[in-house]
Amino acid sequence: MTRPTEMRYPNTQRLLPRLSSQLEMKMEEHIMDTVMEATYYMPNDENEKERLDMMHELMLTMMGRKLFLSPIGSSPHRVLDLGTGTGVWAMDFADQFPSAEVIGIDLSPIQPRFVPPNVKFIIDDFDDTWVEKDFDFIHGRYLAGSSKDFAKLLRECYKNAAPGGWVEFQEWDTDLFSQDGSTDGSSIKQYYELLNGEFAKIGRVINTGPRLETWIRDAGFKNVQVKKYLVPMGAWPKDKHLKTLGAWNLVEAESGFEAGIMAILTRHAGWSKEEVDILVAKTRSDAKNPAIHTLFNFYVVYGQKQED
């Protein structure tokens, strides 16, 4: 992971220093697009940016307006946000802790230019070797499919956390269920079975939530805590809080269904775009159907690196 002052694209170098900065930027962006095509399975367009910001609101609603659960104290110094996306979590954290240095890293350059003075963004791959160290808090959420090896990523987090520092990951359990059997034989059930199965075939775990505790403990973290939230799909629940969560989940998922599965099915499973479009349309229909009571579990797991 590169230093924040470098702000480079992953695995690129400035090979032609005499070129104008504009031309050089275009060349690096072309290289970035090539890397993204090969390794990134989500879009990075305006619709995806909006979806990520809606997901942020879903998380805040679910967690009682909290950005995290770890007991990090009142004055963290160095904070790392893995897979920062639009940077909204990093910026909210920086506003809450103005004395902290907050670094957000992502492979996709979709962060805003104007940010709080204590926020820096790095465009790089967090699966690469890290340079930055001694973080008081390392945060990552919905990184499913982004890392080639989550167990290795958690070991890297442990290695680069400061003594006494905390790590917290927030991830979905993508094995959906219903309490009344209404998802049996549905297209939304087929969608998530395909999503889990096809990512597994290329060596990427998409169903990360239930595995977080094991990975975090195996990396060496202590004082590990697990919080599991129930999140519906759709506004069908009678409970007011669950109805609100379900409505937010449905709104973000309407664009997320295509974003989440198009690349993996067309690149690796031999599906045509038209075939994926049909599956996505049927999945959206199921998600909106008040008779199909889709439920997910969402995990927040955190742990602490022991003092030396």
pLDDT digits (tens, 9 = 90+) for 133-158: 899 999 999 998 788 899 999 999 99
Sign, CA dihedral 198-204-209-210, equals: positive
Residue 165 CA to residue 80 CA, distance in Å, equals 11
14 in any annotated domain: no
| pLDDT tens, residue by residue, 73-103 | 999 999 999 999 999 999 999 999 999 999 9
CATH of the domain at 289: 3.40.50.150
Give 305 or 34, the one with higher predicted confidence. 305
Q: Which of the two residues, 270 and 12, has the higher pLDDT score?
A: 270
Max mean pLDDT among 19-28, 46-55, 256-265, 285-294 falls in 285-294
Please indicate, yes or no, if residue 144 is contained in any of the structural domains: yes
Query: Domain for residue 71, yes or no?
Result: yes
Q: Both tokens of residue 81?
A: 């946000």
Laid out side by side, the sheet with 135-141 consists of: 119-123, 101-106, 78-82, 135-141, 161-177, 295-304, 222-232
Domain containing 217 equals 21-304
Residue 38 lies in a domain: yes
pLDDT of residue 1: 52
**pLDDT tens digits, residue range 153-185?**
999 999 999 999 999 999 999 999 999 999 999
Residue 225 lies in a domain: yes
Which 8-state DSSP code applies to residue 180?
S
Q: Which of 23-32, 61-70, 294-303 has the lowest mean pLDDT?
A: 23-32
User: Does residue 11 fall inside a structural domain?
Assistant: no
Mean pLDDT value across residues 298-308: 94
Domain count, the chain: 1
Residue 218 lies in a domain: yes
Question: Has residue 234 been placed in a domain?
Answer: yes
